[in-house]
């Protein structure tokens, strides 16, 4: 995606141009072009070590890029960082709170140390943010008694104190149990309804699919894809056709391949299922809304499918496709993607850069 000059579009909240960070020979982030639009819940996806935190740290001005720049709210963060940060709330590392103070008192400390208002308006804001993160009923409880999910939400409450337009969250569900994850998901939706733009990094595709409208996929510091979740999901829809025998499956495959060559280009990558006992199953990367067309096509050649199963797209499949080029059997794909995402990946060596 091309760099959009900031003056041309005020709806672009984050706009990076060739953003790059090298640590010695290791290129942690390489030539990154990101566009986050106003109102997005933007998922920044990638396996461990792919450069997500490094990117967030550059956006927040915590580290300097080796090359390229980041424009936030139309301002260059190398030049106008304080003005940008006034409009941003972020959690990059687990926030530190006083264990023996209550949630409310901890927020009071944050408000006081960051020079926010005091008195009644301050108390009102504290109550508001505790309400948003659903900790109002636990505000008097000491921090050490909070669950991990509550601690994380208190961190988000602290990031919300100054009513930021943009909220940056680095792996907000890391280490949380399913209930904690659901709470964070609900909170992200609530923040989005309040008009915030949200940028969240994650390696949990399923989580991201449920809350984000747009995503960028990073691998070894390189941007693999960026776009609307709905469009990416459509790209990973699969039609599964079960035939009555392996012989019939091979005939059907031939028909589908010819149809693909003959203008039905939406019938992408027809193939036999990879599992040994599934040689009678064909998988096609194709919009599931066209399942009946496939059925009719085969019937014209007197091939009658025993069953046709449309598989909705999911980010795991999509991710696997773009990261490994795998478009094989559907079976086990999610598990494979999940394994991949938890794998520490190797890093690219610093490449020669164009000027």
Ligand X SMILES: Nc1ncnc2c1ncn2[C@@H]1O[C@H](COP(=O)(O)OP(=O)(O)OP(=O)(O)O)[C@@H](O)[C@H]1O
220 binds ligand X (CB under 6 A): no
Stretch that binds ligand X, among 23-31, 272-280, 291-299, 327-335 (CB under 6 A): 23-31
In sequence order, what are the beta bridge partners of 284? 239
52 binds ligand X (CB under 6 A): yes
Residues 24 to 43 in contact with ligand X, rule: CB under 6 A: 26, 28
- Beta strand 26-32 pairing with 12-23: antiparallel
Q: Which of 75, 21, 13 is nearest to 40 (CA)?
A: 13
CA 324 – CA 44 distance, rounded (Å): 18
Out of 1, 9, 11, 23, which residue is the one contacting ligand X (CB under 6 A)?
23
Q: Which of 61, 70, 62 is nearest to 20 (CA)?
A: 70
In sequence order, what are the beta bridge partners of 45? 202, 217
Closer CB to ligand X, 45 or 111, in the complex: 45
Decide if 56 contacts 90 (C-beta within 8 A).
yes
Closer CB to ligand X, 28 or 104, in the complex: 28
Closer CB to ligand X, 53 or 106, in the complex: 53
Closer CB to ligand X, 15 or 30, in the complex: 30
Out of 50, 197, 219, 323, which residue is the one contacting ligand X (CB under 6 A)?
50
Residues 139 to 178 in contact with ligand X, rule: CB under 6 A: 171
Q: How many CB atoms lie within 10 A of CB 137?
A: 9
Closer CB to ligand X, 50 or 209, in the complex: 50
11 binds ligand X (CB under 6 A): no
Which residue bears the tokens 């208190």?
A: 154
Q: How far is the CB of 304 from ligand X (least distance, A)?
A: 49
291 binds ligand X (CB under 6 A): no
Stretch that binds ligand X, among 21-29, 74-82, 148-156, 243-251 (CB under 6 A): 21-29
Compute the Cα dihedral for 245, 250, 252, 256 and give only its sign.
positive
Query: How many helices (H) does the chain have, and how many strands (E)?
Result: 12, 15
Closer CB to ligand X, 23 or 98, in the complex: 23
CA 9 – CA 62 distance, rounded (Å): 26
Stretch that binds ligand X, among 31-39, 52-60, 138-146, 266-274 (CB under 6 A): 52-60
Stretch that binds ligand X, among 44-52, 121-129, 307-315, 327-335 (CB under 6 A): 44-52
In total, the chain counts a number of residues equal to 355
Q: How far is the CB of 212 from ligand X (least distance, A)?
A: 17
278 binds ligand X (CB under 6 A): no
Q: How far is the CB of 174 from ligand X (least distance, A)?
A: 8
49 binds ligand X (CB under 6 A): yes
Radius of gyration of the chain (CA): 24
Residues 320 to 349 in contact with ligand X, rule: CB under 6 A: 347
Kindly give the residue spans of alpha helices, DSSP state H, lying in 169-305: 178-193, 205-211, 229-235, 246-261, 291-300
Out of 9, 11, 48, 343, which residue is the one contacting ligand X (CB under 6 A)?
48
Q: Which of 32, 9, 27 is nearest to 225 (CA)?
A: 32
Out of 53, 152, 314, 323, which residue is the one contacting ligand X (CB under 6 A)?
53
Backbone φ and ψ of 181, nearest 5°: -65, -40
Q: Which of 328, 324, 326, 342 is nearest to 46 (CA)?
A: 342
Q: Which residues bind ligand X (CB under 6 A)?
A: 23, 26, 28, 46, 48-54, 171, 347
């Amino acid at each position: 995606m091309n760099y959009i000059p900031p003056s041309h579009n005020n709806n672009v909240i984050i706009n990076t141009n060739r953003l790059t960070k090298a640590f010695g020979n290791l290129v942690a982030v390489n030539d990154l072009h990101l566009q986050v639009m106003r109102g997005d819940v933007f998922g920044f996806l990638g396996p461990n070590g792919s450069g997500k935190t490094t990117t967030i740290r550059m956006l927040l001005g915590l580290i300097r890029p080796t090359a390229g720049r980041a424009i936030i709210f139309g301002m260059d963060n190398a030049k106008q960082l304080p003005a940008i940060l006034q409009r941003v709330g972020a959690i990059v590392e687990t926030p530190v709170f006083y264990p023996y103070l209550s949630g409310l008192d901890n927020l009071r400390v944050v408000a006081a140390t960051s020079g926010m208002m005091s008195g009644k308006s301050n108390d009102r804001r504290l109550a508001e943010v505790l309400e948003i993160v659903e900790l109002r009923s636990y505000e008097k409880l000491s921090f050490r008694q909070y669950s991990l999910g509550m601690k994380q939400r208190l961190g988000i409450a602290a990031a919300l104190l100054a009513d930021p337009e943009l909220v940056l969250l680095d792996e907000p569900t890391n280490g949380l149990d399913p209930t904690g994850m659901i709470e964070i998901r609900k909170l992200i939706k609530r923040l989005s309804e309040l008009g915030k733009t949200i940028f969240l990094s994650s390696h949990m595709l399923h989580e991201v699919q449920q809350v984000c409208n747009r995503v960028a996929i990073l691998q070894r510091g390189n941007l693999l894809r960026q776009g609307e979740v709905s469009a990416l999901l459509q790209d990973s829809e699969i039609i599964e056709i079960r035939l009555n025998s392996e012989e019939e499956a091979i005939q059907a495959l031939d028909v589908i391949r010819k149809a693909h060559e003959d203008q039905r280009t939406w019938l992408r990558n027809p193939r036999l299922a990879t599992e040994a006992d599934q040689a009678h199953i064909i998988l096609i990367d194709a919009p599931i809304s066209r399942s009946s067309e496939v059925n009719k096509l085969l019937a014209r050649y007197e091939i009658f499918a025993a069953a046709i199963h449309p598989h909705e797209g999911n980010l795991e499949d999509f991710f696997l496709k773009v990261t490994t080029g795998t478009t094989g059997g559907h079976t086990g794909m999610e598990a494979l993607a999940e394994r991949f995402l938890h794998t520490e990946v190797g890093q690219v060596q610093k490449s020669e850069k164009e000027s």
